[in-house]
Structure 1
Amino acid sequence: MVNDTTCRGYEAAEDQAGRVRALQDENAQLQRAVASHAVVDQAIGVVIAVGRLTPEQAWDVLRNVSQHTNIKLRRVAELLLELARTGQLPTNIRAELKRRLDHPPPPQG
């Protein structure tokens, strides 16, 4: 026979399992965010080197290329890293990057 104590024990176990699942989901999300951040930071470095820009200017260029090509920032960053490795870049991104590097944002500060 199941009594109140047993029911409370099952409810507590279910609550704990729910918390564990929530923490696992949060952990996975944070891991994806850290990986994405690293890719974007590396792409900013590529833009700095190619355009001889400050980090802030490179961030603006990367963000603007993403916005004007309607491609997610992380994907643009991945493609710029491919450019650094292979010399290849999709035409639309290459054209927008060139346009942005020809007319970079003014340095901040």
Structure 2
Amino acid sequence: MTTATPPRLAGRLTTLMIEARVDAGRALLAPRGELVHGCADTLTETLAGLPAGTGRVDLDMTGVTFMDTAGLQFLDVLHDHGHRHAVTVTTANWNGQPRRILELAGLDTTDPLRSAAHRPPAPRPGPVPSPRPAPAPVPARSAVALERSERLHDLQEEVEQLRHALASRPVIDQARGILMATHGCTSDEAWHLLRETSQLSNTKLRAVAAAITSSAGNGGPPLPGAVRTALRAALARLGR
């Protein structure tokens, strides 16, 4: 049996489609698009439509091209489905930017559902007579929660930079070309120069690219002091 997720409601942007094929109790899901806001709802609808008796769900993530923090909700839905229905759930073939996000989140890029952050909690013993809580689990869970919070913060910053980069692609590409021509660096090196200059000067990446592009023209304004200083530092680290 082969199905696909139904169209979203009118007025809502469809960023994710999931093709589903079920054979002999095994469901193969093939998401296509982006894991952004609403992706968890799309997955929930797809899983709810699987026939009774489905004992295994495998996801081929090859068609996923972008992922932000909503992708973690997507994984939570998968984990909860497997736990509630006692079925095996796996994901595979994470590539490109989504794979990078998994790395930032500290998840297994081969199958993030195997990661400690998404494993079901160990069974807890029944009530104990003493009112004192068990000493070991509480600090362990607190440490995990703190680490995950820090990783999530880094993940959100990375995704935000990626979104701005995509929206500002033309001016960023121009700035990369200018840096390549001016300093004899490769395209990748020019990209790292832009990012490092942005971080060192505490200036948005698009603003750095726009400043570099404007200053390269005849009679263009000089680079702002903070950007100029940060770019020099980035060039020095690159050995230029």
How high is the TM-score relative to the length of structure 1? 0.63
Instruction: State the AA in 2 paired with 1:49.
Output: A
**Structure 2 equivalent of residue 6 of structure 1:** none
The CA distance in 2 between the partners of 1:58 and 1:94, in whole Å, is 15
Task: State the 4+ residue runs in structure 1 displaced beyond 4 angstroms.
Answer: 32-35
Residue 103 (structure 1) shift: 2.8
Residue 87 (structure 1) shift: 5.0
The CA distance in 2 between the partners of 1:47 and 1:73, in whole Å, is 14
- Structure 2 residue runs of 5 or longer lacking an equivalent are 1-8, 15-163
**Structure 2 equivalent of residue 78 of structure 1:** 210
The 5 A counterparts of 1:1-109 are 16=10, 18-19=11-12, 22=13, 36-85=168-217, 86=220, 88-104=222-238
Residue 48 (structure 1) shift: 0.9
User: What percentage of residue pairs aligned between the two structures are identical?
Assistant: 38
Residue 46 (structure 1) shift: 1.1
- Structure 1 residue runs of 5 or longer lacking an equivalent are 1-14, 24-31
C-alpha RMSD of the superposition: 2.4
Instruction: State the AA in 2 paired with 1:90.
Output: P
Higher relative CO (CA 8 A, sep ≥ 6), structure 1 or 2? 1
| DSSP-derived class of the 1:103 partner | helix
**Structure 2 equivalent of residue 7 of structure 1:** none
- Count how many residue pairs are aligned between Structure 1 and Structure 2: 81
The CA distance in 1 between the partners of 2:196 and 2:165, in whole Å, is 21
Bigger proportion of residues as strand: 2
The CA distance in 1 between the partners of 2:165 and 2:229, in whole Å, is 28
